[in-house]
């Protein structure tokens, strides 16, 4: 997986967000950088989304492989048999 799913060097953009007012006041009072914290949270959410997409793709690939093996047999079995025959000679 790449280190970054987005370009961290791109300029930052001002946006409008709706956030619980009490939470925002307490976060600011605690000295927490709202923009950086929101950015970090969005990055975590994007990473999790990407991981979930990969899990789905891997699961589909595994089902495809299992369907192939069910229909045609495992090609590794033929390879193992050829190796055994070559070792026996």
Output the CA–CA distances (angstroms, integers) from residue 15 to 19, 22, 35, 81, in the order listed.
Answer: 12, 20, 10, 63
Q: Token digits for 8?
A: 């961290």
pLDDT tens for the chain, 89 residues: list them.
457 899 999 999 999 999 999 999 999 999 999 999 999 999 999 999 999 999 999 999 999 999 999 999 998 888 888 888 888 87
CA dist 23 and 31 (Å) reads: 13
CA dist 65 and 76 (Å) reads: 12
pTM of the model: 0.70
Instruction: Let me know the angle formed at the C-alpha of 43 by 9 and 38, rounded to the nearest 5 degrees.
Output: 95
């Amino acid at each position: 997986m790449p280190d970054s799913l987005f370009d961290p060097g791109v300029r930052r953009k001002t946006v409008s967000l709706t956030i619980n007012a009490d939470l925002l006041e307490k976060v600011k009072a605690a000295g927490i950088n709202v923009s950086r914290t929101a950015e970090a949270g969005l990055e975590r959410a994007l990473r999790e989304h990407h991981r979930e997409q990969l899990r789905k793709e891997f699961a589909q690939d595994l089902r495809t492989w299992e369907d192939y093996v069910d229909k045609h047999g495992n090609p590794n079995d033929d390879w193992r048999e050829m190796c055994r025959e070559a070792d026996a000679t």
